[in-house]
């Protein structure tokens, strides 16, 4: 046991861990925990800012904007204003529909926010004006709404893939992608569904003396699904027969009898063009043009393909999951289907990959962090000596590991701002360790400590600088605390800095007090004879 | 060491030298702060960020067809085809691109009409490319706009970059608020006009529907009833004929989705000859409805046709009628064009029959203008929102955080030293690092190609610096105090020795911070923080080694040398042993 009673908790920590065999285990454990946290913590490029809000959409067919404003938007706005925590209300009065969007203050919990909005609308259902359709409440859901991956599927030139087939195949792919772990919402943007199109010729219609309504009724009356029918035979046996939906193919539809004219039937095909195609009433379409090349140079020189129609598959991830892993899994799945798709005449391009972006951003900063640590280490070798510099350099990953682990437990993600918080604190982190090692160094070489055993000397040296170091570190932590209360989007965006820098600073103190004396005990030796330059220093400190 | 000690002692020993130090420091402080209003150092919330993608929003006038919109989009894509760094472009006609952060607040997810289109432009990786995405946008914007906007009159093409921080509707947003719909529409056009003439302001757009000619079919209730029809039937058939409807559907084992049966008039036969009332009447007269008696009634018999202007959408914000005018600042902080535009607006509206009043007091709405129509007395409000509001809010909050940090450090020091003067000196010393921060930004601006803005991250750096430099002063005072108390050295000499001895660790930690922030400084967003830390630390070193000793020498609170050294706290002297 160390024969010295420390006054400050700096010395107490140093004493407690100096000769403890578990200290090395603790050090390794901290490093491993940090490394695991770095690997499995969800990565993203920018921190998620939770914006809660939603829209209330109230259709009112046939109303003009001013009517909608008076009847729907104004009363609805007044009611929604009653909700706590709302920042802005935006109302839009258009032809046939009124929309009111609410945006909550930053930091409002999404579940509560959605519930309050829904509740307010439902409570006031009795005040709904007449002629208004059921209101639709749609909360924003950023996690699910912002896709992390988008893939464009397009027909390869020269193959006979029509749009309908493209849709069929992408729909199948969507099903498979949705089954991937942690994938949330997937959508097909620009998808056009197959449909039977009946295009009625107006001139023929008047020629046959028909109205559009008749045609509609004729088709509707045939396109029905009926359950199986039971019939009985004379011998009391059951005879089952099913009525098939009369319309199975385009031809069935073509031969629907619309009316009879002068005794002969008029078929649908006589008055209309009936085709199987896509929903052309949907004007939304997506196109893509791209370059192909094996490497960057080729890519730069390549020519763009002509603009062709495509279907974009968008993939969003579940909240709190790692975008990097999700994107990676989905891309792996797609690549495994590549050959098969190629055979069918379909190609794809990945047009957005936030997983890769987040990973690149994080990796780049981790590299920066390592480079910075190396630079500081080199500087310390010149200033303190090799072994001392190594001891200080070890403390940096240990501090970062503790901070990362605490951030991980606290449910944070690794993003650019978290890593900037680390870079920002890096210069401050080595400080505590430098102060401790400098004092140890001084004690080792001073005359007074010649007689003291190594362990006592280390604890004493650490204990000595405790109070001023604590106060200095506390001063820096104090500057960070008020930043926690910065409001708005920017405050939420910057939050990782005031959250992580204080933790890192406290960790730097603890690590400096535990591991610096411990490692010094293992690595440093008491000099056998005095260096003369310390003599000079000594003289200066005792000027008389 | 000894030489530095003598140097400090010399300064402390002569009143003239001390005055000189104080004077130089004050001059540097005033000079550096003056760099802000004189725009030598420009402020912005966050600088531009180079990304691997940007998007282009195309808005043709309300009432344009999808074909017209696509024509403009095709033109945009064609004019970007020769760009080497673009690897693919996706066109989303009639809707927004899959949601991203920029689109989130710009309402891109809500787009659903024939007059909108968005193009996602994907670039090569930013590390492999010399030109940043914002420089590229800056270069391409005028070319594309000049070529493609005239294709359909009234088209607005906007280039949207990924935001570096939190997204906003636009960098410049003017909310024209008032009760009179016609008037705010008029005002918003004038505001847009003024904005578009301000240099460096681009992509000006009024967020309101254009008014276009449309025809209204008014069902004549009398005639409908007399001819044995119903109003509902008439409305439905008109919709069915021209827009079409899904009239039935069919499930199938072979299809991934339900297959709809869609009924509409043949495109050939429903096409109008011209865009005129006659053509519409002509077409409607050939349409018939069947009444209850099975007789066919021509549609024109039961409806009246009138030509009317379309009804534009009415926008509200916080229960008030409002029209947004938005614009982007091209390669510039939004602050300066905003102030310029505001001055022009004050002049313009004062001349054109309005009484213009500025928003009284200091708030984050302090740039707002209140207009009163001199004739009618109607009141209007021009409110600046968008990035300016976020910037002001952020700077206000960070300023608050800064004051909070000051107070907390002050209290901490008062507890530690039990002296207001000493704590004040430490605080003053740490505040002076602002000289370094501002000068550092000026130097950074000189050496970089783009404008180097003083940003929100610079402010964060400055706040962090407060802690660092107060620590320097703190250790200095501690050391000097201990020298006086434990070794009975005279105050002036003790201060000189302290600053010479503390010089090494202060330099050491300063170098660690500078090296640690060096890589930060090259980052587009956190560059401000890096530069603030580097240059602020340099300033802090000088301040704590020269300026703070001067102040310490002059204060009585530092007179520990004549105190009897038995009641002091032992731990305070320990580092000097």
Tell me: the pLDDT tens digits for B15-40? 888 888 888 888 888 888 888 777 77
What are the CA-CA distances from residue B494 to residues A461, B3, B488 (Å)?
A: 23, 15, 9
Give the phi and the psi of residue B455 in degrees, each rounded to 5.
Answer: -115, 180
pLDDT score at A168: 84
Q: Which residues contact A214 (CB under 8 A, 6 or more apart)?
A: A258, A259, B290
Contacts of A362 in chain B (CB under 8 A): none
Lookup result for tokens 């939004």 = B334
**CA gap A139, A55 in Å, rounded:** 6
Q: Kindly determine whether residue A273 and residue B77, on different chains, have CB atoms separated by under 8 Å.
A: no
Q: Is the separation of the CB atoms in A98 and A91 below 8 Å?
A: yes
Mean pLDDT calculated for residue range A30-59: 83
Nearest CA in chain A to B234: A213
When comparing pLDDT for A446 and B76, which is higher?
Answer: B76
Q: Kindly determine whether residue B87 and residue A465, on different chains, have CB atoms separated by under 8 Å.
A: no
Beta strands in A340-405 (DSSP E): 346-353
Residue B150: other Cβ atoms inside 10 A: 11
**CA gap B529, B263 in Å, rounded:** 63
Mean pLDDT calculated for residue range A179-190: 86
Nearest CA to B263 out of B237, B233, B300 is that of: B237
Taking only the tens place, the pLDDT of each residue in A418-475 is: 887 887 777 777 777 777 777 777 777 776 666 677 777 777 777 777 777 788 788 8
Taking only the tens place, the pLDDT of each residue in B337-372 is: 888 888 898 888 888 888 888 888 777 788 888 888
Q: Kindly determine whether residue B390 and residue A490, on different chains, have CB atoms separated by under 8 Å.
A: yes
Q: Which of A146, A283, A478 sits opposite B100 (nearest CB)?
A: A146
Contacts of A94 in chain B (CB under 8 A): 313-314
Nearest CA to A106 out of B174, B326, B166 is that of: B166
The SS3 call for residue B92 is strand
How far apart are the CA of B431 and the nearest CA of chain A, in angstroms?
A: 12
A538 — pLDDT class (breaks 50, 70, 90): very low
Q: Kindly determine whether residue B317 and residue A89, on different chains, have CB atoms separated by under 8 Å.
A: yes
Own/partner contacts of A203-208, CB < 8 Å, gap of 24 or more, are A203/B269, A203/B286, A204/A270, A204/A271, A204/A272, A205/A271, A205/B288, A206/B286, A206/B288, A208/A259, A208/A261, A208/A266, A208/A270, A208/A271
Q: Is the pLDDT of residue B575 over 70?
A: no
**CA gap B39, B37 in Å, rounded:** 5
Q: Kindly determine whether residue B313 and residue A92, on different chains, have CB atoms separated by under 8 Å.
A: yes
Q: Is the pLDDT of residue A1 over 60?
A: no
When comparing pLDDT for A140 and B191, which is higher?
Answer: B191
Q: Kindly determine whether residue B515 and residue A372, on different chains, have CB atoms separated by under 8 Å.
A: yes
pLDDT score at B564: 46
How far apart are the CA of B117 and the nearest CA of chain A, in angstroms?
A: 9
Among A residues 166-185, those touching chain B with beta carbons less than 8 Å apart: 167-168, 171-172
Q: Kindly determine whether residue A488 and residue B312, on different chains, have CB atoms separated by under 8 Å.
A: no
Taking only the tens place, the pLDDT of each residue in B133-151 is: 888 888 888 888 888 888 8
Q: Which of A142, A431, A488 sits opposite B104 (nearest CB)?
A: A142
The answer to whether A211 faces chain B, any CB pair under 8 Å, is yes
Q: Is the pLDDT of residue A543 over 50?
A: no
Buried/exposed code over B179-200 (b: 16+ C-beta within 10 A; e: otherwise) = eebebbbebbeebbebbeebee
The SS3 call for residue B550 is helix
pLDDT score at A2: 59
pLDDT score at B67: 87
Asked if ipTM goes beyond 0.90, one says no
Nearest CA in chain B to A302: B84
Mean pLDDT calculated for residue range B123-128: 82
Nearest CA to B535 out of B467, B451, B464, B433 is that of: B433
When comparing pLDDT for B197 and A455, which is higher?
Answer: B197
| R_g of chain A, CA atoms, integer Å | 36
What are the CA-CA distances from residue A17 to residues A25, A32, A138, A443 (Å)?
A: 11, 19, 57, 20
Nearest CA in chain A to B299: A211
Beta strand pairing status for A229-232 and B288-290?
A: unpaired
How far apart are the CA of B476 and the nearest CA of chain A, in angstroms?
A: 11
Taking only the tens place, the pLDDT of each residue in A61-98 is: 878 888 888 888 898 888 888 888 888 898 988 888 88
pLDDT score at B256: 67
Q: Kindly determine whether residue B318 and residue A299, on different chains, have CB atoms separated by under 8 Å.
A: no
The SS3 call for residue B549 is helix
Lookup result for tokens 């009124």 = A98
The answer to whether A273 faces chain B, any CB pair under 8 Å, is yes
A227 — pLDDT class (breaks 50, 70, 90): low
How far apart are the CA of B385 and the nearest CA of chain A, in angstroms?
A: 12
Mean pLDDT calculated for residue range B266-277: 75
Q: Is the separation of the CB atoms in A182 and A326 below 8 Å?
A: yes
B253 — pLDDT class (breaks 50, 70, 90): low
Nearest CA to A512 out of A406, A422, A428, A418 is that of: A428
**CA gap A452, A465 in Å, rounded:** 18
Q: Is the separation of the CB atoms in A503 and A406 below 8 Å?
A: yes
How far apart are the CA of B475 and the nearest CA of chain A, in angstroms?
A: 7
How far apart are the CA of B395 and the nearest CA of chain A, in angstroms?
A: 9
Q: Is the separation of the CB atoms in A351 and A150 below 8 Å?
A: yes
């Amino acid at each position: 046991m160390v024969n010295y009673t420390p006054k400050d908790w700096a010395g107490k920590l140093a004493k407690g861990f100096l000769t403890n065999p578990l200290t090395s285990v603790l050090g390794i454990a901290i490093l491993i925990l940090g490394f695991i946290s770095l690997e499995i913590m969800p990565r993203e490029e920018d921190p998620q800012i939770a914006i809660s809000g939603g829209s209330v959409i109230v259709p009112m067919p046939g109303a003009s904007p001013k009517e909608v404003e008076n009847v729907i938007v104004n009363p609805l706005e007044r009611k929604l204003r009653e909700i706590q925590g709302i920042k802005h209300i935006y109302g839009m009065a258009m032809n046939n529909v009124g929309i009111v969007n609410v945006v909550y203050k930053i930091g409002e919990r999404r579940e509560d926010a959605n519930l309050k909005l829904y509740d307010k609308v439902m409570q006031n259902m009795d005040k709904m004006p007449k002629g208004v359709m059921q209101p639709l409440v749609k909360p924003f859901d950023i996690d699910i709404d912002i896709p992390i991956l988008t893939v464009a599927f397009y027909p390869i030139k020269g193959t006979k893939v029509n749009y309908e087939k493209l849709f069929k195949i992408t729909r199948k792919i969507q099903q498979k992608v949705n089954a991937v772990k942690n994938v949330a919402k997937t959508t097909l943007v620009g998808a056009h569904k197959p449909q039977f199109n009946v295009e009625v010729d107006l001139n023929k219609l008047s020629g046959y003396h028909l109205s559009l309504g008749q045609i509609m009724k004729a088709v509707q009356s045939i396109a029905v699904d009926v359950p199986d029918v039971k019939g009985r035979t004379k011998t009391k046996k059951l005879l089952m027969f099913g009525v098939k939906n009369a319309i199975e193919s385009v031809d069935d539809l073509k031969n629907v009898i619309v009316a009879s004219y002068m005794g002969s039937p008029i078929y649908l095909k006589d008055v209309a063009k009936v085709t199987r195609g896509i929903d052309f009433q949907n004007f939304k379409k997506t196109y893509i043009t791209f370059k192909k090349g094996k490497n960057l140079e080729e890519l730069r020189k390549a020519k763009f393909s002509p603009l062709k129609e495509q279907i974009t598959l968008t993939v969003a991830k579940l909240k709190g999951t790692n975008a990097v892993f999700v994107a990676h899994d989905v891309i792996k799945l797609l690549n495994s289907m590549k050959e098969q798709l190629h055979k069918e005449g379909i190609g794809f391009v990945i047009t957005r990959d936030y997983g890769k972006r987040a990973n690149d951003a994080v990796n780049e900063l981790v590299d920066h962090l390592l480079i910075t640590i190396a630079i500081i280490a080199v500087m310390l070798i010149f200033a303190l000596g090799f072994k001392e510099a190594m001891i200080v350099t070890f403390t940096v990953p240990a501090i970062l590991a503790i901070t990362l682990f605490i951030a991980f437990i606290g449910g944070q993600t690794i993003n650019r701002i978290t890593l900037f918080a680390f870079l920002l604190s890096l210069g401050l982190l080595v400080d505590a360790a430098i102060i401790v090692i400098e004092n140890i160094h001084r004690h080792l070489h001073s005359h007074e400590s010649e007689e003291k055993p190594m362990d006592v000397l280390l604890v004493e040296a650490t204990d000595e600088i405790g109070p001023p170091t604590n106060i200095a570190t506390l001063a820096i932590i104090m500057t960070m605390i008020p930043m926690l209360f910065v409001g708005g989007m920017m405050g939420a965006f910057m939050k990782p800095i005031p959250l992580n820098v204080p933790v890192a600073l406290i960790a730097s103190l603890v690590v400096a007090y535990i591991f610096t004396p411990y490692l010094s005990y293992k690595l440093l030796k008491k000099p056998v004879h005095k260096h003369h330059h310390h003599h000079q220093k000594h003289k200066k400190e005792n000027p008389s | 060491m000894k030489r530095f000690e003598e140097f400090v002692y010399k300064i402390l020993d002569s009143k003239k030298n001390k005055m000189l130090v104080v004077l130089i420091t004050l001059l540097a402080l005033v000079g550096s702060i003056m760099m802000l209003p004189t725009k030598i150092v420009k402020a912005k919330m966050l600088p531009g960020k180079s990304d691997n993608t940007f998007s282009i929003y195309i808005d043709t006038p309300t009432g344009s067809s999808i074909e017209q919109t696509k024509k403009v989009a095709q033109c945009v894509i064609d004019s970007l085809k020769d760009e080497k760094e673009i690897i693919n472009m996706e066109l989303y006609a009639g809707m927004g691109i899959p949601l991203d952060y920029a689109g989130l607040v710009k309402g891109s997810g809500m787009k659903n009409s024939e007059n909108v289109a968005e193009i996602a432009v994907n670039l090569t990786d930013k590390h492999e490319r010399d030109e940043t995405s914002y420089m590229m946008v800056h270069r391409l914007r005028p070319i594309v706009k000049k070529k493609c906007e005239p294709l359909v009159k009234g088209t607005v093409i906007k280039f949207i970059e990924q935001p570096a921080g939190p997204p906003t509707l636009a960098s410049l947003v003017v909310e024209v608020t008032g009760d009179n719909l016609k008037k705010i529409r008029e005002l918003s056009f004038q505001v847009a006009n003024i904005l578009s003439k301000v240099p460096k302001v681009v992509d000006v757009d009024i967020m309101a529907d254009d008014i276009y000619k449309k025809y209204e079919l008014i069902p004549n209730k009398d005639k409908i009833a007399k001819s044995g029809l119903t109003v509902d039937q008439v409305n439905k058939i008109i919709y069915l004929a021209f827009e079409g409807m899904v009239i039935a559907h069919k499930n199938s084992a072979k299809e991934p989705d339900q297959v709809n049966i869609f009924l509409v008039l043949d495109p050939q036969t429903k096409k109008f000859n011209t865009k005129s009332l006659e053509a519409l009447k002509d077409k409607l007269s050939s349409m018939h409805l069947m009444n209850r008696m099975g007789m066919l009634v021509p549609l024109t018999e039961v409806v009246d046709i009138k030509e009317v202007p379309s009804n534009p959408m009415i926008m509200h914000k916080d229960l008030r009628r409002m029209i947004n005018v938005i614009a982007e600042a091209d390669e510039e902080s939004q602050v300066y064009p905003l102030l310029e535009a505001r001055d022009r607006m004050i002049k313009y509206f004062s001349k054109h029959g309005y009484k213009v009043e500025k928003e009284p007091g200091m708030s984050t709405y302090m740039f707002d203008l209140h207009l009163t129509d001199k004739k009618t007395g109607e009141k209007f409000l021009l409110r600046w929102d968008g990035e300016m509001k976020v910037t002001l809010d952020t700077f206000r909050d960070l300023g608050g955080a800064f004051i909070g940090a000051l107070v907390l450090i002050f209290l901490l020091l008062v507890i530690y030293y039990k002296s207001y003067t000493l704590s004040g000196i430490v605080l003053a010393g740490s505040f002076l690092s602002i000289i370094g921060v501002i000068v550092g930004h000026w130097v950074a601006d000189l050496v970089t190609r783009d404008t180097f803005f003083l940003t929100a991250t610079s402010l964060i750096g400055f706040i962090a610096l407060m802690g660092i430099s107060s620590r320097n002063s703190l250790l200095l005072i501690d050391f000097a105090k201990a020298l006086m108390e434990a070794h009975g050295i005279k105050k002036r000499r003790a201060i000189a020795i302290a600053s010479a001895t503390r010089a090494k660790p202060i330099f050491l930690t300063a170098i660690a911070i500078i090296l640690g922030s060096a890589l930060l400084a090259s980052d587009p967003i956190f560059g401000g923080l890096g530069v603030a830390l580097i240059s602020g630390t340099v300033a802090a070193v000088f301040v704590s080694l020269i300026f703070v000793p001067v102040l310490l020498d002059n204060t009585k609170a530092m007179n520990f040398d004549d105190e009897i050294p038995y009641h002091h706290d032992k731990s305070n002297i320990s580092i000097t042993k």
